[in-house]
């Protein structure tokens, strides 16, 4: 058996598998079941930047009632009044989770503009959060907002959250940065401890019959994982920030791939919402079996083995290989 212990954000975890930010925050029994099934830590859903609360909560409540899953999966969803939580109920929930669960509880803030709201980070620390995950969920819609101004603003937010607290802060990013390593260097310089790669955007689709936009959360599939693997493989050993995968982890092989790319922790949400807490036990067993079969006795040995720095054929991660791949493509879907 592979030793699955890991250290994420300075916290000793018995497993790298972490319950990611989700409405499960609202369901203590489900979270206890996740911990019994092997979760190494739990991330709460986000507390949003004050000035966005009304709008974002309304959006989430709307989205949450339209989650695109079958009836069986839906039964695993807690009722979603949690998205209406203000900061005082959030703090109470944090205290409750912290005292009821045997694993670290990580609070989550979601915001993009520097300001007084970042002071809430201190309350989260006081209420017992083991760490803070800061989600920089940003959508540039104003043509005068350049990548530079947007990124500088985000780094200011990182700096002001970090300066409020003595607990570690991880930053959850979107996949859409033109120069991710440079931005990550800025996150590191601003004092963060870890990265969560990546956010998913919940994009509106179109209802052509009604000629309107319709928003719904479609749960992820494993197809969303490779963009995370690529980013982690590229960043491994090139940043001191620890990395957690978030997005597309549904099987033990998905989790093993995240570790081999350089992840210290692996967050899971969609699999839990679709399958229930037992998904964690299944993913843990599958991952353990896979890593053990590969000959790894610990996660530390496996971490980053297929990163850009370490993979035997690391050029596969790079552009040249992409060009060769496209040129060699045959209609069978295989390359020559």
Ligand X SMILES: Cc1cc2nc3c(=O)[nH]c(=O)nc-3n(C[C@H](O)[C@H](O)[C@H](O)COP(=O)(O)O)c2cc1C
Where along the sequence are the contacts to ligand X (CB under 6 A)? 20-23, 45-46, 64, 108, 110, 135, 172, 199-200, 217, 220, 224, 246-249, 268-270, 273
DSSP state of 142: -
Cross-strand partners of 106: 43, 131
CB atoms within 10 A of CB 247: 23
The residue among 33 and 308 lying less far from ligand X, judged by its C-beta, is 33
CA-nearest of 36, 37, 39, 47 to 19 is: 39
Q: Residue 33: how many CB atoms within 10 A of its CB?
A: 18
Tell me what percent of the chain is helix, strand and coil, each rounded to the nearest 5: 45, 15, 40
**What is the spatial distance between Cα 63 and Cα 59, in angstroms, rounded to a whole number?**
6
- Least distance in angstroms from the C-beta of 255 to ligand X: 11
CB of 330 to ligand X, least distance (A): 32
Question: What is the rounded distance in angstroms from the CA atom of residue 45 to the CA atom of residue 287?
Answer: 26
| Minimum CB–partner distance for residue 144 and ligand X (Å) | 27
- Nearer to ligand X by Cβ, of 224 and 308: the residue is 224
CB of 318 to ligand X, least distance (A): 26
Toward ligand X, which CB reaches closer, 174 or 316? 174
Pairing of strands 105-110, 41-48: parallel
* In the complex, minimum distance from the CB of residue 297 to ligand X, in angstroms, rounded to a whole number: 27
Interatomic CA distance for residues 162 and 117, integer angstroms: 13
Task: CB nearer to ligand X: give 165 or 197.
Answer: 197
Q: How far is the CB of 173 from ligand X (least distance, A)?
A: 11
Alpha-helical runs (H) found in the chain: 28-36, 53-64, 71-74, 87-100, 120-126, 147-164, 180-189, 225-235, 252-261, 270-275, 278-293, 299-302, 319-327
Closest approach of Cβ 19 to ligand X, in Å?
9
Minimum CB distance to ligand X smaller for 6 or for 199: 199
Q: Write down the least CB distance from residue 68 to ligand X, Å.
A: 10
In the complex with ligand X, the residue whose CB is nearer, 164 or 270, is: 270
Residue with smaller CB distance to ligand X, 2 or 270:
270
Which runs of consecutive H residues, i.e. helices, occur in 23-139?
28-36, 53-64, 71-74, 87-100, 120-126
Cβ proximity of 97 and 130 under 8 Å: no
What are 329's strand-pairing partners? 335
Closer residue to ligand X, CB minimum distance, 130 or 246: 246
Q: Greatest CA span in the chain, whole angstroms?
A: 60
Q: Is 106 exposed, middle or buried (0-12, 13-18, 19+ CB in 10 A)?
A: buried
For ligand X, the closer of residues 62 and 322 by Cβ is 62
Residue 23: CB minimum distance to ligand X, A: 5
């Amino acid at each position: 058996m592979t030793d699955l212990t890991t250290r994420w954000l300075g916290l000793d975890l018995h497993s790298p598998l972490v319950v990611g930010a989700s409405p499960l925050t609202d369901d203590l029994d489900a979270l206890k079941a996740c911990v019994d099934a092997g979760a190494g830590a739990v991330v709460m859903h986000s507390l949003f930047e004050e000035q966005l609360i009304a709008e974002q909560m309304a959006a989430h409540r709307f989205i949450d009632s339209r989650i695109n899953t079958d009836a069986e999966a839906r039964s695993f969803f807690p009722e979603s009044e949690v998205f209406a939580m203000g900061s005082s109920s959030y703090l109470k929930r944090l205290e409750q989770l912290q005292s009821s669960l045997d694993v670290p509880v990580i609070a989550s803030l979601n915001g993009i503009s520097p300001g007084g709201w970042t002071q809430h980070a201190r309350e989260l620390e006081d209420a017992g959060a083991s760490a803070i995950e800061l989600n920089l969920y940003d959508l540039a819609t104003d043509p005068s907002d350049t990548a530079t101004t947007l990124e500088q603003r985000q780094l200011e937010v990182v700096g002001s959250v970090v300066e409020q607290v003595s607990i570690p802060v991880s930053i959850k990013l979107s996949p859409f940065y033109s120069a991710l390593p440079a931005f990550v260097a800025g996150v590191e310089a601003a004092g963060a401890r870890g990265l969560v790669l990546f956010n998913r955007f919940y994009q509106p689709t179109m209802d052509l019959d009604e000629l309107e936009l319709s928003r719904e959360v479609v749960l992820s599939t494993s197809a969303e994982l490779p963009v995370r693997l690529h980013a982690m493989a590229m960043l491994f050993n090139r940043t001191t920030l620890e990395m957690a995968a978030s997005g597309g982890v549904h099987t033990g092989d998905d989790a093993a791939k995240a570790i081999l790319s350089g992840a210290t922790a692996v967050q899971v949400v969609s699999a839990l919402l679709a399958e229930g807490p037992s998904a964690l036990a299944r993913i843990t067993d599958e991952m353990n079996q896979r890593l053990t079969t590969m000959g790894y006795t610990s996660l530390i040995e496996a971490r980053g083995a297929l990163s850009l720095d370490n993979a035997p054929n690391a050029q596969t991660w790079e552009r040249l290989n992409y060009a060769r791949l496209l040129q060699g493509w045959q209609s069978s879907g295989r390359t020559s």
